[in-house]
Amino acid sequence: MTDLLDAVRPLVACDRVTAIVDGDVRRITGELRVHGDGPYLPDHFPGLTIFPGVFVLEAVVQAAAAAFGEPDGRRLRLTAVRSLRFLVPLRPGDLLRVLAEATAVSPPHPVRLRADCRRGDGVRVATATVECGWSG
């Protein structure tokens, strides 16, 4: 079985992705452990290390891309951010869990994702509604 994350390498924003298809709905879970040794963390922000919000967004998109795979050689790419709200920062050692829901569609139809991003202890860190299109 091919690793779902192969589609998004070399930059991987999720350690693990699972997807469940239930009728027309695809439920996606992505997880990432925030490591303090990442080259982007020490300077974001100096004296108060937090996981950059753009990486939370990237985790949402990559979880979906991994869950949908590459039908007909096409890859899912972010095309629009309809809503994005950051509520609580993530720090080194935290677990980011992305819980997203999308209508199970195939190219060329766009994919609309609603994501609830939570810390490992269940605290909501962000919410997002994004649209993705197919490239390739």
Cβ–Cβ under 8 Å, residues 77 and 132: yes
pLDDT of residue 2: 46
Q: Answer yes or no: is pLDDT of 112 > 70.
A: yes
SS3 129: strand
- 67 DSSP assignment: H
Residue ranges and CATH numbers for the domains of the chain are 4-135 (3.10.129.10)
- Which tens digits make up the pLDDT trace of 17-44? 999 999 889 999 999 999 877 777 777 7
Among the listed residues 15, 16, 29, 44, the single catalytic one is 44
Per-residue pLDDT, 45? 77
pLDDT tens digit sequence for 57-100: 999 999 999 999 888 888 889 999 999 999 999 999 999 999 99
Cα separation, 11 vs 58, in Å, equals 10
- Give the CB-side neighbour count of residue 126, counting CA atoms within 13 A: 26
Stretch 100-115: mean pLDDT: 90
pLDDT at 24: 85
44 as an active site residue: the answer is yes
3-state secondary structure of 53: helix
Q: Please tell me whether the overall predicted TM-score, pTM, comes out greater than 0.85 for this model.
A: yes
pLDDT value at residue 11 = 65
